[in-house]
Amino acid sequence: MSDDDLSLSPAFAVQRRKLALLGGMLAAAGLPMGAGAQSRDYATMLMPFPPGGAGDFLARVLADKLKAELGRNVVVDNRPGGATRIAGEALRNAPADGGTVLLSPVDPMFIGPAIYSGMRYDPMKDFRPITDVATLQFGIAVGANSPHKTLAQYLQAARTQPAQADIGISLIGSLLHFLAMDFIAQSATKGQIVPYKGGTPMLNDLLAGQIPAGMDATTTFMEFHRAGKIRVLAVSGSRRAASLPDVPTFAESGFPDLVATSGYVVYARADTPPAAIAQWNQALRKVLAQDEVRSKLLHTGYDAVPGSEPAEVAAATERAAARWLPVIRKSGFKGD
């Protein structure tokens, strides 16, 4: 439902007038809009992954800087599990007052309904994007002891030695999973996908030479590539990753259609008042403009972004869905 649709509702019109009055009272008192929308004096940022990972780091960098912009603490609440669905359900069940948001990769928003039949919420209808905060690419890597220096060398071996074509991935049912499937199909190998429960065990096997290749986000591979412990052969963006400028893209390596990026977006419930959405959007974009924040994101392997309007994020998500849903449906994969 669009903002225009909401504005036609008499109930919404009354609510909007109340919010406008409340906003004026708060402004006169020198308080932020969000502080009066709920009884508690802090906001919650739901994070669908456990503490210690790159996503959690991103959440804590943002939360720390948001305090000055929102005028209240932002607490990171880790809700891992269910391929981000546990955190999604927590947002769906939270009050629609702007006090709780979700920081999540964008791809589960359109992949989830395509592969899970028992979802208790519809991300594309129940959530509204506030802004994107970072983008990331995926890469294919081999161990340091691998003889393959380029993607072409790896594929030459993979096509003649099927055991060399298997690819480890950190999460099935994700954009990474379907990118790996598309890569195997386009490269005409007979490789199998080897699923792991997270990037760390997959990376450990790659380091130990237990798997011939692995695919994951550049945030997983970056430091090990720089240290010479693995070798990233290609990345999935339309241009080279800022964190791995020495690594060519799949397009540069002969696969012009193999382009995929993900990114983190902050979401609110779709029925959150527009004033609260706007406050979060403005605060986040101010935080993303800080040199310290951009430096931290780049150091972790993210490509920092300046932020966008909610409609821009929604349009980009629709384009990604149009690109990948046919691949997902063709695969027949179901996560249930």
Decide which of 88 and 23 is more confident.
88
Lowest-pLDDT choice from 10-19, 120-129, 144-153, 171-180 = 10-19
Which pLDDT band, with edges at 50, 70 and 90, does 178 fall under?
very high
Write the pLDDT tens digit of every residue in 218-246: 999 999 999 999 999 999 999 999 899 99
Alpha carbon distance 51, 77 (integer Å): 9
Within this chain, domains 3-135+263-331 and 137-235 share the same CATH topology: yes
pLDDT(70) > 70: yes
Give the list of residues 6+ apart from residue 194 with CB closer than 8 angstroms, or none. 166, 167, 168, 169, 202, 211
CATH 3.40.190.10 fits 137-235, yes or no: yes
pLDDT at residue 14, rounded to an integer: 36
CATH superfamily of 3-135+263-331: Bordetella uptake gene, domain 1 (3.40.190.150)
- Residue 4, pLDDT above cutoff 50: no
Strands 73-78 and 100-105: unpaired
pLDDT of residue 11: 37
Exposed/middle/buried for residue 306 (C-beta within 10 Å: 0-12, 13-18, 19+) = exposed
Q: Would you kindly state where each structural domain of the chain is located, as residue ranges? A: 3-135+263-331, 137-235
pTM above 0.85, yes or no: no
